[in-house]
Amino acid sequence: MNIIKVRGHEFNSFNMKDSSSRKAIQLKNNIENNLKKIGVNKESVNINIENFILKKVQASASWYYDGQYLYYSYNKGSFIENLYTVSKVIELELESLEKGEISNDDFIRDFTEDKDIELKRKEARELLGIEENSNDWELIHEKYKKLAKEHHPDLGGDLEKFKEINNAHKMLKRELL
């Protein structure tokens, strides 16, 4: 079984033998139950379940906690694999919070996103000149370096464009690493 490394956590990859719509519901319930441990009620959690769980599509969870809108998504495999990863990352982050390894503020900061984050990520990819669904970090970073050099203010480039490029890179880095 392969190991997945996401957000400083390592865990076993999803076993595709467990692929089923029922498993997707179990993962959704797992996320809701884990968030319940910190006082998040089920009505504050939003997790959409795809009809075709083997389709290569992003999985995400959003919830309200401590007055903040929190969000996490993953998009590197099939929906069921992505939902499993979302579930594991949330579970491991909550364990870190419970053990005192991270503070409540760290937890909130790690998952705070704008409600229109998906649109912003799409625009960031467009700005960097990569495909809308690309998750290839090496390609993203390569395009970023090229554009940053081209628009660097010390080399006669436009400061505002340079800032946009940097912000796009940071946003995608947060999503993918």
Quick: pLDDT tens for 73-83: 999 999 999 99
The one-letter amino acid code at 98 reads E
Same domain, 43 and 66: yes
Final residue of a structural domain among 111, 140, 161:
111
Q: What is the pTM of this model?
A: 0.79
pLDDT over threshold 90, residue 94 = yes
Domain that holds residue 27: 3-111
Gap between the Cα atoms of 132 and 53, Å rounded: 21
Gap between the Cα atoms of 31 and 38, Å rounded: 12
User: For residue 49, what is the enclosing H or E element?
Assistant: none
Contact 34, 57 (CB under 8 A): no
* Region 72-101 average pLDDT: 96
Measured from the Cβ of residue 144, the count of other Cβ atoms closer than 10 Å reads 22
What is the per-residue pLDDT for 116? 86
Give the CATH number, domain containing residue 133: 1.10.287
Final residue of a structural domain among 82, 111, 140:
111
Cα 76 to chain centroid, rounded: 10
